[in-house]
Amino acid sequence: MAKTKSTSKKSYDFDAIVIGTGPGGEGTAMNLTKAGNKVAVIEKHSEVGGGCTHWGTIPSKALRHSVSRLVEYNSNPLFNKSEKAATLTFENILQHTTKVIRDQVRLRGGFYNRNEVKVFHGEASFIDKHTLHINYPDGSHEQVTAKTIIIATGSRPYRPDDVDFTHSRIYDSDTILSLKHEPKSIIIYGAGVIGCEYASIFRGLGCKVDLINTRDRLLSFMDAEMTDSLSYHFWNSGIVIRHGEEYSSIEGKDDGVVVSLQSGKRMKADCLLFANGRTGNTDKLDIDKVGLTANSRGSLAIDKTYKTEVDNIYAVGDVIGYPSLASAAYDQGRIAADYILNISTEGQLIEDIPTGIYTIPEMSSVGKTEQELTAAKIPYEVGRASFKHLARAQIGASAVGSLKILFHCDTKEILGIHCFGERSAEIVHIGQAIMQQKGEANTIEYFIHTTFNYPTMAEAYRVAALNGLNRLF
């Protein structure tokens, strides 16, 4: 798209300044600059990419990939010819992760360079609603102004005051990436998405894992059959899950960590990963100077256009809370930019946002769960396909898992897709594409009438569709 010059009634250094270069900040900045706006971004880290690239999504998924390949190697009879299994340390697998991060930084940095977006590497805070103060690492500082300011500062791990995160054996999901020693056991406090993913990673490396869940089941927002499958595989791999528990104290020792639970239980491990929630990064922005207030978890309130209570300040990504997904943050940024540019009056995220959970095995879903449909009294039927029956899964020795399609009994409209097993986060998008169609194009019969490559994992949709339609009478 050709750039056109922007004119402002009042003179500012930039048309827009975005605070943060994660997915939300990048989506906003790219959309604004493509429309001809003079745009700057402020990033407190020495490299662009935000928490997604450096501490969150990319590192954990890269770690998971390496461990998954190790597990696959050790379980494959073609390679596992000796009695001694192949091993890797956490530091070993970090080498691959570091390369992925470096490649992502180079790619994302190129976007800003090519689109002439000015990047300030410093820490931003508000002076007034059009002026930001930037503190640089060398102690210098400056002020910059913009007509519009977008807060895309993301989030960080929640740290309760009674846990000593300065102790060398106590980590959160950011600091765990600096783990240097080789733990033989680990306690993971919090069994949300991050806790479950790291439980898979450390168990795959041969660690004894205790996973403390403050709720009564794993990942209760997912379909119950899928989470039951994950619970079984965790149990089968040797992970100990403790449901409905909360800590009373966490003590760092010279040789490990002791966790005392409110139920009276005591546990000890070489180290602890605290992964129980996240906090929006608003505490250092001086948002009170412009009349903004964050909630108890550091999140900002916005309207449907992503505008805050201040007319020229917007917010996108994890800093506004739900859904707190990198994929959604990027779309939020693009949509917010459209509102700022007056291109859109109705832009919004899609209703059915897919969820991908990179445990071992993987889980992914889009749409309604069985529990939600039952509670809403919507008549539905289920079509299932077990991966163990698919030729491609047999060839790839990835027989664990299944695909489940939920569809309306009368209209045959697809209501939900739920997948468990290797490559689930990829497989689910086939169903999502059909769900997004309107009217008769969105029915389970699509999978009967189309032709899939053979052998593929995608063929599971045809198998599940036949299974489900055969249940109707």
41 DSSP β-pair partners = 18, 119
Confidence category of residue 7, pLDDT binned at 50, 70, 90: very low
Binding residues for NAD(+): 190-197, 277
Q: Which residues are annotated as a binding site?
A: 43-52, 61, 153-155, 190-197, 277, 318
Q: Over the stretch 60-108, which tens digit does the pLDDT of each residue have?
A: 999 999 999 988 888 877 776 666 677 888 888 888 899 999 999 999 9
Mean pLDDT of the 425-438 span: 94
Q: Per residue in 226-257, pLDDT tens?
A: 999 999 999 999 999 999 999 999 999 999 99
Q: Answer yes or no: is pLDDT of 387 > 90.
A: yes
Can you give the pLDDT at residue 81? 64
Which pLDDT score is estimated for 76? 77
Structural domains in the chain, CATH included, are: 14-157+279-340 (3.50.50.60), 170-276 (3.50.50.60), 361-469 (3.30.390.30)
Residue 3 has pLDDT above 50, yes or no: no
Q: Decide: pTM greater than 0.85.
A: yes
Q: What is the pLDDT of residue 85?
A: 74
Query: For residue 418, which amino acid is it?
Result: H
Q: How many CB atoms lie within 10 A of CB 457?
A: 26
- Which residue carries 């020792």 as its tokens? 253
Q: What is the DSSP string of 246-261?
A: -EEEEEEETTEEEEEE
pLDDT more than 90, % of the chain: 88
Whole-number pLDDT of residue 4: 43
Which residues contribute to the annotated binding site for FAD? Answer: 43-52, 61, 153-155, 318
Q: Which residues of 263-290 are buried (b: 16+ CB within 10 A; e: fewer)?
A: eeeebebbbbbbbbebbbbbeebebeeb
Cα separations in angstroms, 299 against 22, 239, 280, 308, 349: 16, 33, 5, 11, 19
Average pLDDT of span 420-426 = 95
**Cα–Cα distance for residue pair 294/2, rounded to 1 Å:** 38
